[in-house]
A and B are shown apart, each in its own frame.
Chain A
């Protein structure tokens, strides 16, 4: 069964303390990998799409990278407003248009 695994489940950082979130996936045939941010009581907010190994995307303090079997979301000098759950989702060539989501990493940034 195609799977998407995110780690860690939860992460606490001090403001300014950089770190990375991991998203690993089974099975080959990646068609796209997506990162979303979800705040409590809201729908997922799109951050990045990555399509091929070696690709990188950046937005403010966030940078997403992709290898053949995993993706990282790097957070540089985070601020309290970066606190949220970060979701990774994969679309495979054989899965049509559906996204398969990981269970997310809950990030808390303390001031």
Chain B
């Protein structure tokens, strides 16, 4: 079946611009996660959505970062007023109900010039 999909695959933007990254989880998966992978660093948790519960936003690095999940499916991660240090690969993952394993998408490579 189809895996987690993310768009765009690559995004180049100028410092100060806003960007939106999209994630389509695996059908039927109720949990959705966003992580960030910077060059030479491990994956860093950003935010977690589970069903209709309030999201766990504890990993968002600043108030320039926000995310929403509409209809319990598609999620959008928004970065406002991008900075060069925001350059990274943004990864989305989803989990089926009752299981711990997270399945990752291919990521969006963001470059802020």
> With A34-B101, A42-B106, A43-B106 as given contacts, are A102 and B42 in contact (CB-CB < 8 Å)?
yes
Q: Check B33 against A98 for contact (C-beta < 8 Å).
A: yes
Q: Report how far A86 CA is from B50 CA in the complex, Å.
A: 27
Contact of A97 among B44, B50, B103 (CB under 8 A): B50
B25 interface hit (Cβ, 8 Å): no
Is B104 located at the chain interface by the 8 A CB criterion?
A: yes
- B91 CB, min distance to chain A CBs, angstroms: 6
List, in ascending order, chain A residues with CB within 8 A of B102's CB: 34, 46, 99
Whole-angstrom distance from the CB of A69 to the nearest CB of chain B?
A: 19
Given contacts A87-B43, A103-B41, contact A98 B56 (CB under 8 A): yes
Among A42, A45, A91, A103, contact of B100 (Cβ-Cβ < 8 Å): A91
Query: Among residues 61 to 111 in chain A, which have CB atoms less than 8 Å away from a CB atom of chain B?
Result: 87, 89, 91, 96-104
- Output the nearest chain B residue to A88 by Cβ-Cβ distance: B42
Count of chain A residues with Cβ under 8 Å from any Cβ of B?
23
Asked if B65 is at the interface of the complex by the 8 Å CB criterion, the answer is no
Decide if B91 touches A43 in the complex (CB within 8 Å). yes
Residues of B36-54 whose CB lies within 8 A of A: 40-45, 48, 50
Question: Per a CB cutoff under 8 Å, which of A32, A46, A91, A103 touches B103?
Answer: A46
A44 within 8 A of B: yes
Q: Are B43 and A99 in contact (CB under 8 A)?
A: yes
Across the interface, which residues of B come within 8 angstroms of A43, CB to CB? Answer: 4, 91, 104-107
The 9 closest A-B pairs by CB, nearest first: A43-B104, A98-B45, A101-B43, A101-B42, A103-B42, A44-B104, A43-B106, A32-B100, A43-B107
